[in-house]
Amino acid sequence: MKDPTSDRVHMARAIRLAVLGLYTAEPNPRVGCVLVRDGEVVGEGWHQRTGGPHAERLALAMAGERARGATAFVSLEPCCHHGKTPPCTDGLIAAGVTRVVAAMRDPNPLVAGAGLARLRAQGIEVEVGLLEEEARRLNPGFIKRMEQGLPYVRCKLAASLDGRTAMASGESQWITSEAARRDAQFLRARSAAILTGVGTLLADDPALNVRLTAAELPGVAPDSQVHQPVRVVVDSRLRTPPTARLLTLPGRTLIACLDSESGRAAHLEAAGAQLLVTPPGPGGVDLAFLLRYLARQEINEVLIEAGATLAGAALQAVLVDEWVLYLAPHLMGDAGRGLCHLPGLELMRDRLPLVIRDVRMVGPDLRVTALPPGPRG
Ligand code: AOF
Ligand code: ZN
């Protein structure tokens, strides 16, 4: 018997299961599945890692014979293609599932509605769209990469309550609290790439790595290796020193530049960096070109951790999907440096509008998440 309230409860559970893949599923989407028969949950699963079983397969394995006549609640349309794993549609059909409720269609062109069509063709009752908004928020990067060939770009900034990131002298460490810096580590951990500018690199020599342990990341097996995002430095003239700290750490470092013919390039490559030459963009490296390259590398979510110059350039090129702003409870005065370098903004009508999605305290600091207005906001 269909009951809209319990349908929502089961889909909400599927979405909560999907969240367990937040730090491990990339480049695949985070997906959860709940199998329900006669009001009783008989199977559950979530997609843990690319190459591993899909959510539906795990739920079916748990349910066994009890999947016959059951309803499957899935946060994403079941796949119907042979990827690294066989089609979930075939598994659901073979197990005798009679109804499938998907929160959203799979934006992967290899699926894109064909999974739902295959289920319907087998006489399975199919519904799509339950808690769709919540399901879309699970996978902003996967969806944007599939639909636009670009990753989802989150820009993290830290400032005083009056929006300053450094004193006029340039002195800047540490503006926000230990708690805020730890919170930002979770943003790194869910990202497949961390992007910074050479200015920040020369000033701070950042590591740009995830320092949380597997045990601190929900859904990650405590004894497993924490995945390190690709570190990306925007450095048009290759000013990165080959001794930079990020080149000494495990994982991949990519330097986006305008010319890789110089002797400096050879030194950086010898130090383990990979160079990407981009066409010239407005302020140096063409950021859109770089992001399209990252999407082709199956990178879903990018975190920008940079100073005012790169943050401003990304903002002006309309490449940022989400701003995460940590504000510390002190004032740095009007001689301090601002958050975003935005030359050419003079009139009120030139302002760049944002919609605030979330505000919360992190230790003594404030965290504001804001999005550009539009369908996503
Ligand atoms: C599902 N359930 O849990 C996931 C799906 O290479 P594969 O076989 O892992 O397939 C990856 C694609 O499958 C991925 O791009 C997306 O379209 C879909 N992911 N589908 O039915 C899941 N993770
Ligand atoms: Zn599948």
Looking at residue 363, what is its pLDDT?
97
Q: Which amino acid is at 224?
A: S
> Which residue, of 94, 122, 138, is where some domain finishes?
138
**Do 233 and 196 form a contact (C-beta atoms < 8 A)?**
yes
Rounded distance from Cα 365 to ligand 1 centre (Å): 38
Residue of 26, 40, 44, 56 marked active site: 56
What mean pLDDT comes out for the span 21-50?
Answer: 97
pLDDT band at 1 (very low <50, low <70, confident <90, very high): low
Kindly state whether residues 200 and 270 are assigned to the same domain.
yes
Kindly state whether residues 115 and 165 are assigned to the same domain.
no
Kindly state whether residues 164 and 91 are assigned to the same domain.
no
How many domains are there within the chain?
2
Looking at residue 377, what is its pLDDT?
45
Kindly state whether residues 160 and 113 are assigned to the same domain.
no
How far apart CA 251 and CA 224 sit, in angstroms, is 16
Looking at residue 339, what is its pLDDT?
84
Kindly state whether residues 328 and 229 are assigned to the same domain.
yes
Looking at residue 258, what is its pLDDT?
96
What mean pLDDT comes out for the span 84-108?
Answer: 96
How far apart CA 102 and CA 54 sit, in angstroms, is 14
Give me the CATH number covering residue 206: 3.40.430.10
The ligand 1 atom nearest the CA atom of 111: 17
Q: Is 108 touching ligand 1 by the criterion CB < 6 Å?
A: yes
> Which residue, of 80, 103, 138, is where some domain finishes?
138
**pLDDT tens, position by position, 224-269:** 999 999 999 999 999 999 999 999 999 999 999 998 888 899 999 9
Kindly state whether residues 96 and 180 are assigned to the same domain.
no
**What average pLDDT does the structure give for the chain?**
93
**pLDDT tens, position by position, 268-278:** 999 999 999 99
Residue 178: pLDDT over 50: yes
High-pLDDT (> 70) share of the chain, %: 99
Tell me the residues surrounding ligand 2 (ion) with CB < 5 Å: 54, 79, 88
Residue 316: pLDDT over 70: yes
- Told to judge if 26 belongs to the known catalytic residues of this protein, a careful annotator would answer no
Kindly state whether residues 16 and 46 are assigned to the same domain.
yes
Q: 167: buried, middle or exposed (CB in 10 Å: 19+, 13-18, 0-12)?
A: middle
- 55: containing domain: 4-138
What mean pLDDT comes out for the span 142-151?
Answer: 97
Kindly state whether residues 131 and 155 are assigned to the same domain.
no
Looking at residue 332, what is its pLDDT?
86
377: in domain: no
Kindly state whether residues 128 and 167 are assigned to the same domain.
no
> Which residue, of 138, 169, 185, is where some domain finishes?
138
Kindly state whether residues 126 and 72 are assigned to the same domain.
yes
376: in domain: no
